[in-house]
Amino acid sequence: MNKTELAIDVKNLSKKFGNKVVVNHIDVQVPKGQIIGFLGPNGSGKTTTIRMICGLLTPTTGAGTCMGMDIRTKADEIRKKVGYMTQKFSFWEDLSIRENLEFVARVFGMDNIKERVDNALKNLGLAQRQEQLAGTLSGGWKQRLALAACILHEPEILLLDEPTAGVDPKARREFWDELRNLSEKGITILVSTHYMDEAERCHSIIYIAYGDIMVKGTVQEVIDSTKLVTYSISGDDIMGVMDKIKGNPEIVTMAPYGDQLRISGSDKYKLEHLLNKSTKDKITQAEPSLEDAFIFYMTKSAKEEENG
Amino acid sequence: MADVFSLYRVFAIGRKEFLQLKRDKITLAMIIGLPIVLLTLFGYAINTDPKNLNSAVLSRDNTEFTRSVITGLKNSGYFKIEKEITTDKEGKELLQSGKMQFVITIPDNFSRNLIRGDKPSILIEIDATDPVTIAGAASSLQGIIKSIIIRDLKGPVAHLRGELPAFDIEVQKLYNPEGLTHYNIVPGLIALILMITCIIMTALALTKERERGNMENLLSMPVQPIEVMMGKISPYIIIGYIQSIIILLMAKFLFHVPVLGSVALLMLLTLIFIICNLALGFAISTAAKNQTQALQMSMMTMIPSILLSGFAFPFYGMPLWAQGVGGCLPMTYFIRITRGIILKGNSFIEVWPHVWPLLIFMLVVTTFTVRIYKRTLD
């Protein structure tokens, strides 16, 4: 597949609600068939961006295409090619699983409704529960229903807004296996998430904060871009060490993991100096994780926001 | 473009609404319960044929006959003879002040003139400001008095029975000579119940989806505003008809309201009225931000309809500005249609002047709603 072929290509996209800038001149390019993770703190503009891409919100500035169709003028056609899974479960709780799927199939004007719904139920393991009302399902099943409904009309792009929030690890893993399957079939997926393990499963990620894109690229590129150094201290009194050096400007992230304390900073020399001064325990250098990178960017963006 | 409108999608939405409605037991109970409760209330509890109305008798002829008439009136249950008075002036004052609703005057020498065959008159003055209250009593008066006198005409005067009427009853309705019969209530109730159900149901139709988050989903699907509107109102058309049929059956068999005109014509025109109200409810639903707001807006459209449509007060008795407001409400016209068809046996030509305003209302509201319906979340 031609790598330069873009499923989503929007430039200079902004959205203002009143005076509040929620999304600030961002560019999003998603190559066909890839899974792109959309990350960022709460309220950073992820949902708004996704809604603009699928035509649910009109951008204040910017333009672009979704499957080659203008997001401003071809919203109707885009709707047919896009499967959008909302953050909050938005299917009808007083309809059964089957009835929800049948409704979607009808609205999209599909033929062989019974057969297609049967297949969808089978593929996502919903067949046994098809008569159950959606409102009585647990989080994982609701999410599965929502995914089944989103892909029922065979969209070319999936826009998933925090699809796995509040879902248990097993269900999350199965969900991501399914996303991978879809991606293998050539479906492009833009998925927002707060989970690091999910971000690591994406082909590449986009990190957004306060409406600005802070960084994008593969997981390794994102981690490398921070130029963080990470150390791990193991000992009996890691909480004591933590208290001692807490708030020091050299520290970007610090968190205990079991009997280890992981500390990341931007300046290798100064950080080493600080740690050597504060503890007699063993200090070893470690690899910065994606989580460290995110906290780095969150802190950075918060500072930039404060300074205007 | 073939994709601008699809009846198939309308059907898809209608089917979904119907399934949801089927599971909403409280709403279903309201749909069936509302007409039954309202009709029973108006028919029985809110008595439009009240008894024991305050009455005064001015009897200038104290004979066995007249005493018998007074007793008979008491026994009918309609009249509570509070007072026996002696002057006309007293009677006028009692009516004026509202203390008495009936003043019955039996003239001098009534019995003698009756026996002579001079056809004396009994004068009945009625305070008709509240015509619904007095209608039953007033209409029974003549019958009661006649039957008493006939019963008492026996022995030597029995021959007068055959020469009826041996006397006259002169009824004067004061203050509101036009008067309304209590039959008026039932045709009005059809309009009232349909309006309440249709407006509230659809006013909640979209706000409910918005509050539950379904709206975002619906908007991300390829459906046109007019399809959503038609799909959402379609199940309620059926419900409107179910209610109309309940009301008509109750009216006929429980309250014995004669249906003089064509039921088919009534049903056809009911459809237009139902759609008017559903469209109005849908407009409210589009404009309101949540269900509370939708209910408030519904109340604001329903109350003027109840007060100014001719349901609560005679339309032409209202000041001109109120008639003007009433003239913009679909209920005003539909009440005239139902009263016309049910009570007067009106034909289509006769009710047409009230049909076209409904059609215009339907068109204007539908167009307005489709225009304000937002396809985005902006």
**Cβ distance B295 to B378 under 8 Å?**
no
The pLDDT of residue B44: 64
The pLDDT of residue B280: 94
**Cβ distance B303 to B282 under 8 Å?**
no
Final residue before a domain boundary, out of B153, B174, B195: B174
Give A-chain residues touching B23 at CB under 8 angstroms: 94, 133
Residue B329: which H helix or E strand, with range? Answer: none
Find the CATH number of the domain harbouring B89: 3.40.1710.10
Q: Does the beta carbon of B221 lie under 8 angstroms from any beta carbon of chain A?
A: yes
- Whether B189 and B293 map to the same domain: the answer is yes
Give A-chain residues touching B220 at CB under 8 angstroms: 54-56, 79, 82, 84, 86
CB-CB under 8 Å, B222 with A76: yes
The pLDDT of residue B183: 64
Rounded Cα–Cα distance for residues A176 and B240 (Å): 48
- Whether B160 and B283 map to the same domain: the answer is no
The pLDDT of residue A55: 87
Rounded Cα–Cα distance for residues B104 and B90 (Å): 12
Among A80, A94, A103, whose Cβ lies nearest the Cβ of B222? A80
Give A-chain residues touching B214 at CB under 8 angstroms: 90-92
- Whether B192 and B291 map to the same domain: the answer is yes
Q: Does the beta carbon of A57 lie under 8 angstroms from any beta carbon of chain B?
A: yes
Q: Does the beta carbon of B11 lie under 8 angstroms from any beta carbon of chain A?
A: yes
Chain centre distance of CA B273: 16
HSE-up of residue A251 (Cα within 13 Å, Cβ side):
18
Is B8 contained in some domain?
Answer: no
The pLDDT of residue B2: 42
- Whether B306 and B335 map to the same domain: the answer is yes
- Whether B191 and B307 map to the same domain: the answer is yes
Closest CA of chain A from B377, distance in Å: 6
- Whether B157 and B216 map to the same domain: the answer is no
CB-CB under 8 Å, A57 with B376: yes
Residue pairs spanning A and B at CB distance below 8 A: 73
Is B39 contained in some domain?
Answer: no
Rounded Cα–Cα distance for residues A98 and A117 (Å): 7
Final residue before a domain boundary, out of B140, B174, B208: B174
Give B-chain residues touching A84 at CB under 8 angstroms: 217, 220
The domain containing residue B329 runs over which residues?
181-372
- Whether B169 and B185 map to the same domain: the answer is no
Among B19, B213, B217, whose Cβ lies nearest the Cβ of A99? B19
Is B83 contained in some domain?
Answer: yes
**Cβ distance B129 to B176 under 8 Å?**
yes
Is B230 contained in some domain?
Answer: yes
Rounded Cα–Cα distance for residues B189 and A203 (Å): 66
- Whether B64 and B111 map to the same domain: the answer is yes
Is B110 contained in some domain?
Answer: yes
CB-CB under 8 Å, B13 with A79: no
Neighbours of A16 (CB within 10 A): 14
Is B295 contained in some domain?
Answer: yes
Question: pLDDT under 70 in chain A at which residues?
Answer: 1-4, 308
pLDDT digits (tens, 9 = 90+) for A258-286: 888 999 999 999 999 999 988 888 899 99
- Whether B70 and B155 map to the same domain: the answer is yes
The pLDDT of residue A238: 85
Give A-chain residues touching B6 at CB under 8 angstroms: 109
- Whether B316 and B206 map to the same domain: the answer is yes
Q: Does the beta carbon of A18 lie under 8 angstroms from any beta carbon of chain B?
A: no
Give A-chain residues touching B26 at CB under 8 angstroms: none
Domain count, chain B: 2
Is B97 contained in some domain?
Answer: yes
CB-CB under 8 Å, B23 with A94: yes
Collapsing DSSP to helix, strand or coil, B79 comes out as: strand
Rounded Cα–Cα distance for residues B259 and B338 (Å): 10
The pLDDT of residue A121: 93
Rounded Cα–Cα distance for residues A184 and A34 (Å): 9
- Whether B323 and B342 map to the same domain: the answer is yes
Closest CA of chain A from B225, distance in Å: 12
Give B-chain residues touching A162 at CB under 8 angstroms: none
Q: Does the beta carbon of A60 lie under 8 angstroms from any beta carbon of chain B?
A: no
Final residue before a domain boundary, out of B120, B155, B174: B174
CB-CB under 8 Å, A92 with B216: no
Task: List Cα–Cα distances, A243 to A237, A261, B101, in angstroms.
Answer: 10, 12, 92
- What per-residue string of b and e applies to B249-268 under the rule 16 or more CB within 10 Å gives b? ebbeeebebebebeeebbee
- Whether B293 and B331 map to the same domain: the answer is yes
Is B138 contained in some domain?
Answer: yes
Collapsing DSSP to helix, strand or coil, B239 comes out as: helix
Closest CA of chain A from B301, distance in Å: 30
Give A-chain residues touching B24 at CB under 8 angstroms: 94
**Cβ distance B194 to B274 under 8 Å?**
yes
CB-CB under 8 Å, A54 with B213: no
CB-CB under 8 Å, A108 with B11: no
Question: pLDDT under 70 in chain B at which residues?
Answer: 1-3, 43-51, 97-98, 128-136, 153-169, 171-184, 314, 317
